[in-house]
Amino acid sequence: MSASPGLTLTRYVLTALCCFALVINVTGLSAAEPTQVVLGTATKGGGFQLFGHNLAEVIHQTDKTLKVEAIATKGSRQNLPFLEEGKIDIGQVEGNAARQALDGIGRKPANLKVLSVMYPNPGMFVVRGDSSYQSIEDLKGQPIAFGTQASGLRILVNDVLDGLGLRPDQDFEQIILKKAAHGPQLVLEKKAEALWGAGIGWPGFVKVAKGPTGARFIAPSEKQIDTILKKHPHLIRMTVPAGTYQGQDNAIDSIGLWSLILVRPELEEDIVYRLARAIHQGNDALVKRLPQGRYTQPANTVKHVPRHRLHPGAARYYRELGLL
């Protein structure tokens, strides 16, 4: 028996509706998949990798539509070309390395934008607590771990020492690390007399301070800071609050720049907007993981980053907060 025209039409309609529902379902599943973003950090044992992995997790917890993959790199000076080549979407870059790239110092200006500041990077040396070293001059001629090859912290120490008429490769026995984690171990094993570093809660400093003899921190004196700033006025005064490291009873004054999270300019405005919002809304969770996270605030970004450097997506969110 052949089906009636009405029944045939009904079957066609039902089939079409089922197909439509299937399309909606598949589309819905696709829309539910989080947006993937790749973040370049640095080598194992450094402050950037620690910060980056925690930030990535906080962003996803705050906004389930975002999934940040934090990958290890060689550091700031590798993150910059990775951003320019589109190998990563966002990258952590030490302030001096960012300044050279964005201003085109010694290279073509980088077409990169800022998502957010990370934290201030006051630079200083750490030595074992049982050593006799008290000043930068005392360290001359000694084996010093100055960081990894691609670390932006080496740009900072070059400026600091240059302001004092010194060079790492001429006035010290310079040690360049393969991984940031090797630095504190060399100091604890007495294979290096000091380690250069910067930042708040920097892992290398934390490890030496928790060593069997504790630690002593050596920063430029007030007079030396003035001398350095005359030659390198792009640096700014910064302070490591008392109690940042075990046994550090007093605040330590030094100089440095803010580290930044940079973005490749092609990254969609809406994605960057959501990243900026998640970083802000998840700040309390970040601070619970890392005390230095308290500096990663929109107000600090707007204060320390020129407006034209901000990615449009980040600027849009900061305007909504009334900061721009």
> 121-257 in CATH: which number?
3.40.190.10
131 contact partners, CB below 8 Å, separation of at least 6: 193, 216
pLDDT of 4 reads: 53
Residues 234-260 have a mean pLDDT of 97
CA distance 321 to 298: 9
pLDDT tens digits, 276-318: 999 999 999 999 999 999 999 999 999 999 999 999 999 999 9
For residue 57 the two structure tokens come to 């997790």
Do the domains spanning 32-119+259-320 and 121-257 agree at the CATH topology level? yes
pLDDT-based confidence at residue 187 (cuts at 50, 70, 90) = very high
Spatial separation of the C-alpha atoms in residues 175 and 189, rounded to whole Å? 14
Spatial distance between the Cα atoms of 192 and 235, rounded to a whole number of angstroms: 27
Q: Checking DSSP bridges between strand 35-40 and strand 90-93, what pairing results, if any?
A: parallel
Write out the E strands in the chain. 35-40, 66-71, 90-93, 113-128, 143-148, 173-177, 194-198, 215-218, 236-240, 252-263
- Helices 95-103, 76-84: crossing angle, 10 deg rounding: 40
Domain ranges of the chain: 32-119+259-320, 121-257
Q: Does domain 32-119+259-320 have CATH number 3.40.190.10?
A: yes
- The first and second tokens of residue 51, run together, are 């910060």
Whether 95 has a pLDDT exceeding 60, the answer reads yes
Per-residue pLDDT tens digits for 32-74: 799 999 999 999 888 999 999 999 999 999 999 999 999 999 9
- In percent, how much of the chain has pLDDT > 90? 87
